[in-house]
Structure 1
Amino acid sequence: MFHRVLWKTLGFMGYTIQYGCIAHCAFEYIGEFVVCSGPSMEPTIVNQDVVFSERMSRHLCKIKKGDIVIAKSLYDPNMNICKRVVGLEGDKICTSAPSGLFKTHTYVPKGHVWLEGDNPRNSTDSRNYGSIPYALIRGRVCLKLWPLQSFGTLGESPTKRIIKNQSDSNSD
C-alpha cells in the first residue's frame, strides 16, 4: 500500500513539474496576459485594461517605433511599465520641459530605446529617466483583451510623437 501511494505521489509530482515547465516556457517565450494600471497610457490603455504581450518580437529584435511594450522598471525590478517606443538606438529625440520652454535633443545610445506614455502630462518615462536598455523589454503589446468593447489591436499614439525615418518607411 505504501509503495502504491508513493508511486502515485511521485507520478503526480512528475506531471506537476512537466506542466509547470511548459507553462513557464509559454509565458517566457510566447507571451503573457497583463493587467495595466495607472494613467500614463491613456487614452490608448486605461486603468485595469487587460492586454496580451507577445515575447517573440523582443527575442527577434523586431521592436519598432510606435510599438507599445512592457518593460522592467529601472527603479523597481519587481514592477513592469507599459510605454510606447518613441525612439530606437541612434535616433535623435527632441524633448521639452513640462513648461514647454526648454527643448533638448538626445541621441538614443546603442542597445537602448526611448519610451514615453501616451498621456505626456501624467507619465513618468524616458523624459524623466532617459533611455532604457533593450534588455529590459519583456514583450510587445499586440492586443487589448478587456474591456470587451475595446477588444482588438491598439492604435497609433494620440500625441503623434512617432516620426518614421525614410529608412523606417522603406522597411515596412
Structure 2
Amino acid sequence: MTLLKFVGKTCGFVGYVFQYACVTHCTFEYLGDFVMCSGPSMEPTLESNNILFTEHLSPRMQRLRRGDIVIAKSPSNPRQNICKRVTALPGDKVRGQFPRRSQVVPRGHVWLEGDNTSNSSDSRVYGPVPIGLVRSRVVCRVWPLDKISSLTEY
C-alpha cells in the first residue's frame, strides 16, 4: 500500500466520522435527545434516575400545552436543568405564594410546577419562566425498562 493510498483512505474515514458527528450533533441539538431526571419534584410521575426521551420542536415552535412535562434551564441556577410540568400558559391567571395573591402569566412565559407540590422548587418560588429557557418537551420514559411509557398525555 502506498503512502498516498493510505493518506487518501485515512482522509475518507475522517470525513465520514466528521459527517456522522455533525448529523448526530444536529439531531440531538435540534430534534430530540435523552435526559436523566433527578430529584423528587416530579414524583410519583417521574423518579430519580429515570431516562426520558425529549423533543425540541414544540418549545421552538411555541406549541407547549398545559400538562406537558418539559426540561428547562433553572431560572435561579442557569447551570442546572429542571424537569417540571406546564400548568399555565401566557394570559392564564395563577395563584402565587400567598393564597389571596394571584397573577397573570405574561406573554412569552409559562408557569411550571412539579407534581410533588410539597417538595418542588418551581414557579411558585421563582415566578413565570421565560419560554426561551424551555429546552425540550418530554415524550416518553425509556428507563427503567419495566416503566417505559408515553408521557405526552396527562
Which TM-score applies when normalising by structure 1?
0.81
Alpha-carbon distance, 1:25 to partner: 1.4
What secondary structure does 1:43 align onto? coil
* TM superposition shift of 1:120: 0.9
**Is 1:144 aligned with 2:149?**
no
Question: How far apart, in 1, do the equivalents of 2:35 and 2:43 lie?
Answer: 16
Mean Cα displacement is larger for which, 140-149 or 3-12? 3-12
User: Could you tell which deviates more after superposition, 72-81 or 110-119?
Assistant: 72-81
- Report the Cα distance in structure 1 between the residues aligned to 2:6 and 2:77, rounded to whole angstroms: 45
Moved over 3 A (4+): none
Aligned position for 1:88: 89
State the one-letter code of the partner of 2:150: T
User: 1:108 aligned to 2:109?
Assistant: no
* One-letter amino acid matched to 1:26: T
Pairwise CA RMSD: 1.6
| Structure 2 residue identity aligned to 1:16 | V
Partner of 2:118 in structure 1? Answer: 121
Question: Residues 22 and 96 (structure 1 numbering): CA distance in 2 closer, same or farther, change over 3 Å?
Answer: same
**Partner in structure 1 of residue 129 of structure 2:** 132
For 1:52, what is the secondary structure of its paired residue?
Answer: strand
Secondary structure of the equivalent of 2:19?
A: helix
State the match for 2:40 in structure 1.
Answer: 39
Taking the aligned partners of 1:28 and 1:57, their CA distance within structure 2 comes to: 13
Check if 1:70 corresponds to 2:71.
yes
Matched residue SS, 2:30? helix
The offset of 1:78, in angstroms, is 3.0
Q: Aligned partners of 1:61 and 1:77: how far apart in 2?
A: 21
**What TM-score, normalized by structure 2, do the two folds share?**
0.90
Identity of aligned residues (%): 49
1:24 equivalent to 2:30? Answer: no
**Structure 1 unaligned spans of 5+:** 157-172
Code of the residue aligned with 1:119 in structure 2: it is N
Runs (5+) with no aligned partner, structure 2: none
Deviation of 1:76 (Å): 3.1
Local SS of the residue matching 1:8: helix
Q: Is the contact between residue 56 and residue 136 of structure 2 (CA under 8 Å) also seen in structure 1?
A: yes
Letter in 1 for 2:140: L
| Cα 1:78–1:2 shift into 2, 3 Å | farther
Q: SS state of the match for residue 49, structure 2? A: coil
2:150 alignment partner, SS class:
coil
Q: Give how far 1:67 is off.
A: 0.5
